[in-house]
Copies of this chain bind each other. A is one copy, B any other.
Amino acid sequence: MFEDPRRKKQLEKFIQKLGLPPTAPVEWSLLDLALTHPSISRVENYEQLEFVGDSVVRLISAELLLEIYPQEPVGEFAAVRSILVSDRVLAELAEYYGLEPYLLIGSNATGNPAGRQSWLADAFEAVLGALYLSTHNMDLIRPWLDLTLKTRSAEVFSDPARFNYKDALQEWTQRKCKILPEYQVKENQAFQASKARADENILNSRFVAEVWLKERFLGRGYGRSKKASEQSAAKEAFLSISQEER
């Protein structure tokens, strides 16, 4: 039995925000824990549930992508999933479902705005962990999360510019080879050189990046900043790799 009637009321309210009935078979003590930041208690907090929830959201994403896009190559799934389970998207989902008012967190932690995305995402994962462990299946999660994840994945598929190709490439190389791609950025020699050259994109770009997987060359990209050149190299690498997988 969950003891604190005021907290219980709060948690019920949150559950209803997710679209679940108040009678849903939720383990309230787990949900309470999922909505408790480590700044409140070093032991009784959301960290263990976050560890479970991280796998829950990965599994649901995999299942969902397979259901909606059975024709897409697996490499693409991995890329889209890496976006769906990113801190950025999970924190957005936490905001969308209005999680924050129900999270117990010390003022020392909320004072740091840089950490906000991270603890919102962590708590959201922990909530998924608590709901999964309440029934040992996805019955308390998929009814409300599916539609949101579907919308997100459709956005990613329809607008490849939303892809963070560096993340996508990293997810791919990690999964396949357990190593990370390496970037080498140099000044672009063609920059400010003869305007007679054809490729404006290359000419206007101060930096050129190459991405390598150990000894294997994966792609090259140009950009006005180092970061942009790396993204561009990652894009070339990622698209050629997905092509191979088709």
A244 CB, nearest partner CB in chain B, Å? 11
Q: How many residues of A contact B (CB 8 A)?
A: 26
- Is A63 in contact with B52, judged by CB distance below 8 angstroms? yes
A41 close to chain B: CB less than 8 A? no
Contact of A74 among B51, B70, B74 (CB under 8 A): B51
A32 close to chain B: CB less than 8 A? no
A138 close to chain B: CB less than 8 A? yes
A150 close to chain B: CB less than 8 A? no
Within A161-196, the residues touching B (CB, 8 Å) are 174-175, 180
A239 close to chain B: CB less than 8 A? no
**Secondary structure of the A side of the interface?**
helix
How far, in angstroms, from A61 to B58 measured CA to CA in the complex? 14
B residues less than 8 Å from A54 (CB atoms): 62, 175
A56 close to chain B: CB less than 8 A? yes
How far, in angstroms, from A70 to B43 measured CA to CA in the complex? 11
How far, in angstroms, from A56 to B59 measured CA to CA in the complex? 6
- Is B59 in contact with A74, judged by CB distance below 8 angstroms? no
- Is A52 in contact with B59, judged by CB distance below 8 angstroms? yes
- Is B74 in contact with A47, judged by CB distance below 8 angstroms? yes
Residues of A within 8 A of B (CB): 47-48, 50-52, 54-56, 58-59, 61-63, 66, 70, 74, 77-78, 132-133, 136-138, 174-175, 180
